[in-house]
């Protein structure tokens, strides 16, 4: 009998406790999707010490080697606050070998499951499913960066959420991602990517392009619906009884927001600091 479960990566930096986010995300997966969840982390001992009770939400704790990195990115916290922090997000290519499940849902720790939408995808016959189409909760932002990896290039796919089955073809896909990662400067030049730092979304997009023999192939099937997200310039207010409330940045009005609410919808909350405040005290503002 095939095993099915979810995997979440959690690698802390100096200001963001990804383990805390992963515990929150795991509880929602177990409650709403009713599947086991494992965590992949480089701080297993610290996690068990800091969260001895909460860590029991995980089916397995899978430890990877701790490695410091010079990779940094700007983390916004709404429109008026930001900081540059270490960005440790380089091990997604290893998930095929690390997952304990035959069929795996992989989500970022800031992806909040709030519906049963993905259950059908977990039960489908497709070996690899991922989001390509997406929609911001902001109605005015230019989000073309999430349509193609550059304006003239291949489609953009989100490594935030995907489902895969352990098959030889899917194993080859992750081998391709590892090769792209090892030769990132070559591939970013080949695909005219301006960002120098390795990024999973770009590597997945390139690997899908190669698996499709550089055509509009069928290797990657799209997950149901669209990837819904808020920018890190937006704020989470609350999550309660299937309802999520947000403050979305207003156009040309710095520090001002529009309230938006959603029911029974999964959302990628890019503002990890706001999500952390909600987990800590019930409001992300």
* CA distance readout (Å), 90 to 1, 65, 191: 32, 12, 19
Helix axes 168-182, 200-211, angle to 10 degrees: 130
Q: What is the pLDDT of residue 268?
A: 98
Beta strands 60-63 and 37-41, pairing class: parallel
Torsion over CA: 44, 46, 48, 52 (sign): negative
Query: Is 281 a member of any domain?
Result: no
Q: What are φ and ψ of residue 21, in 5° steps?
A: -65, -40
Provide the pLDDT for residue 215: 80
Question: What's the domain count of the chain?
Answer: 1
Q: Does residue 283 lie within any of the structural domains?
A: no
Q: Which domain holds residue 48?
A: 4-226
Please indicate, yes or no, if residue 155 is contained in any of the structural domains. Answer: yes
In a domain, 98, yes or no: yes
Mean pLDDT by groups of 10 residues along the chain of 285 residues? 96 91 98 98 96 97 82 83 80 96 98 97 96 95 91 93 98 98 95 91 97 88 96 95 95 92 97 95 69
Does residue 35 lie in a domain region? yes
Query: What beta strand segments (E) does the chain contain?
Result: 4-10, 37-41, 60-63, 72-76, 82-86, 103-107, 111-112, 128-131, 134-136, 158-165, 221-222, 227-230, 235-240, 243-249, 257-263, 267-269
246 is a domain residue: no
Residue 272: inside a domain, yes or no? no
* pLDDT, position 163: 98
pTM above 0.85, yes or no: yes
Cα–Cα nearest to 6, from 97, 90, 108, 89: 108
In CATH, what number is assigned to the domain containing residue 164? 3.90.550.10
Give the distance, in angstroms, between the CA of residue 155 and the centroid of all CA atoms in the same chain. Answer: 18
- Going by the DSSP 8-state scheme, the letter that residue 155 receives in this structure is B
Return d(Cα 56, Cα 119) in angstroms, integer.
Answer: 23
Residue 200 has a CB neighbour count (10 Å cut-off) of 20
| 31 occurs within a structural domain | yes
């Amino acid at each position: 009998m095939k095993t099915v479960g979810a995997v979440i990566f959690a690698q802390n930096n100096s200001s963001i406790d990804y383990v805390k986010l992963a515990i929150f995300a795991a509880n929602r997966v177990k409650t709403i999707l009713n599947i086991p969840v494992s965590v992949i982390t480089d701080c297993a001992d610290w996690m068990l010490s800091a969260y001895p009770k909460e860590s029991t939400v995980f089916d397995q704790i899978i430890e990877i080697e701790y490695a410091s990195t010079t990779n940094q990115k700007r983390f916004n916290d709404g429109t008026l606050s930001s900081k540059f922090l270490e960005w440790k997000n380089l091990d997604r290519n290893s998930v095929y070998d690390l997952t304990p499940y035959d069929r795996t849902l992989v989500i970022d720790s800031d992806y909040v499951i709030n519906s049963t939408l993905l259950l059908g995808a977990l039960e489908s016959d497709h070996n690899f499913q991922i989001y390509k189409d997406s929609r911001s909760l902001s109605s005015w932002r230019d989000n073309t960066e999430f349509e193609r990896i550059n304006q003239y290039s291949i489609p953009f796919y989100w490594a935030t959420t995907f489902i895969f089955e352990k098959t030889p073809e899917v194993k080859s896909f992750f081998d391709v991602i590892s090769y792209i990662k090892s030769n990132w400067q070559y591939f970013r030049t080949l695909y005219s990517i301006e960002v120098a730092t390795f990024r999973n979304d770009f590597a997945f997009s390139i690997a899908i392009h190669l698996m499709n023999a550089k055509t509009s192939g069928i290797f990657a099937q799209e997950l149901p619906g669209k990837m819904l997200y808020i920018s890190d310039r937006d704020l989470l207010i609350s999550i309660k009884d299937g309802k999520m409330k947000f403050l979305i940045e207003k156009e040309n009005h710095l520090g001002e927001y529009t309230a938006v609410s959603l029911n029974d919808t999964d959302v990628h909350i890019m503002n990890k600091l706001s999500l952390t405040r909600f987990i800590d005290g019930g409001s992300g503002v």
